[in-house]
Structure 1
Amino acid sequence: MTAPTVLIVPGWRNSGPGHWQTLWQQRLPQARRVEQRDWMSPRRQAWVDQLGDAVLQAPGPVVIVAHSLGCIATTHLPPSVSARIQGALLVAPADPERRGILADFAPVPYQKLPYRSVLVASSNDPFCPIRLSGAYARAWGSEFVRLNDAGHINAESGHGEWPLGLALLQSLGAEVPLPRREAVT
């Protein structure tokens, strides 16, 4: 059985060099980033189409690793695409109704996802209140992991490689290589 493809789905403005998504893409041999044509002025249909194409082009099952607006794009996928998804790690979802530039992604779907998902949110995320993240998790049927004072769970909030996230990713069936340890001489 082959390992699932890990699709990294960044949010609005992409994930920079110190972001855990970028670090994971470099670390995980089966990881692929979903590139968007316009990171600054996102349009729902364009983003969902790019993500859908990436899922359908994967050689087998897929595990989604989405951040912020990438979480919302993932929930907009049609059933024919969602059927190829084994699981999803949905981190710090966006609230497109609170930010005008993201309004094209509203309304957010409120139905159960047809695959296992884990939603991770922070008690002080400046872009989505924790109560809304909890409502998303209930609607999507996601396991809910609440982090205290973790900001937007990105490089700016100090999340670097984010080992907890890697453990959650592994729980969804993705292969996560153990970190190399220096030999003691």
Structure 2
Amino acid sequence: MTPTIIIVPGLGDSGEQHWQTLWQRKFGAERVRQDNPEHPVAEVWAARLHEVIEATPGELVLVAHSAGVATVAHWAQLSSGCGDLDRVRGALLVAPADPEQSGLDTLHPQLAALAPLPTAALPFPALLVYSENDPYCTPERAEALAEAWGAAAVSAGEAGHINVESGHGDWPDGEILLSEVLHAWTPPDVVRF
């Protein structure tokens, strides 16, 4: 049986043309909707993710973007020992926003509410996709997060924040990576394409 995809958006809830929204429609995915999608609070956003996970039966694959990646990391830490962790077959973590990165206070100061990011290994397989020129996270930090979380790291090249503004409405390369996560592929530590 194919796992259910749960979309975990970042700030602004990923708009109508964002690949997460397109995937939600295309794959019949569930979606985490935060009460205040512009102002994250780590525990509140993690609790909402937990509610969606509890309400969704069967095996799951989490698909997170930007601040949604931090939400997944916080949820995993806060849910340590929870049976729901066992139902997560894998996670696709795309373009993490680093709330500890200097200079983000001018881009999105509200991201600071997600700091510090948990650095414990995730209790499920994960694939972290990062961009070489993402204004919200350096490649070095993305690779360090992947290593800490026990995730494989994949560079998407110079892909901006891997969102609509960087030309990633429909994201076919992402669908290939999602397919790998759905089929429990175990990638090497760092892949570049």
Return the TM-score normalized by structure 1. Answer: 0.89
Q: Secondary structure at the match of 1:13?
A: helix
**Aligned runs of 1:49-128 on 2, under 5 Å?**
49-77=47-75, 78-79=79-80, 80=82, 81-98=84-101, 99=104, 100-128=109-137
Asked if 1:131 is matched to 2:140, the reply is: yes
CA distance in 2, matches of 1:154, 1:16: 10
CA distance in 1, matches of 2:157, 2:32: 29
Asked if 1:33 is matched to 2:42, the reply is: no
Between the two proteins, the alignment pairs up a number of residues equal to 172
Partner of 1:168: 177
Give per-residue Cα distances to partners, 1:114-139, cap 9 Å, x unaligned: 11100000000011111110100110
Give per-residue Cα distances to partners, 1:124-173, cap 9 Å, x unaligned: 00111111101001101111101221000001111122111111111122
Looking at CA atoms only, which structure, 1 or 2, has the larger radius of gyration?
Answer: 1
Over the aligned positions, Cα root-mean-square deviation in angstroms equals 1.2
Q: Secondary structure at the match of 2:168?
A: coil
Q: Secondary structure at the match of 2:11?
A: coil
Partner of 1:21: 20
CA distance in 2, matches of 1:125, 1:27: 26
CA distance in 2, matches of 1:82, 1:74: 11
- Name the % identity: 45
The answer as to whether partners of 1:90 and 1:117 remain within 8 angstroms in 2 is yes
The answer as to whether partners of 1:87 and 1:172 remain within 8 angstroms in 2 is yes
Instruction: Report the AA paired with residue 15 of structure 1.
Output: S
Instruction: Report the AA paired with residue 138 of structure 2.
Output: P
Return the TM-score normalized by structure 2. Answer: 0.85
Q: Counting helix residues as a fraction of each chain, which structure ranks higher?
A: 2
Moved over 6 A (4+): none
Instruction: Report the AA paired with residue 161 of structure 2.
Output: H
CA distance in 2, matches of 1:173, 1:146: 19
The alpha carbon displacement at 1:104 in A equals 2.0
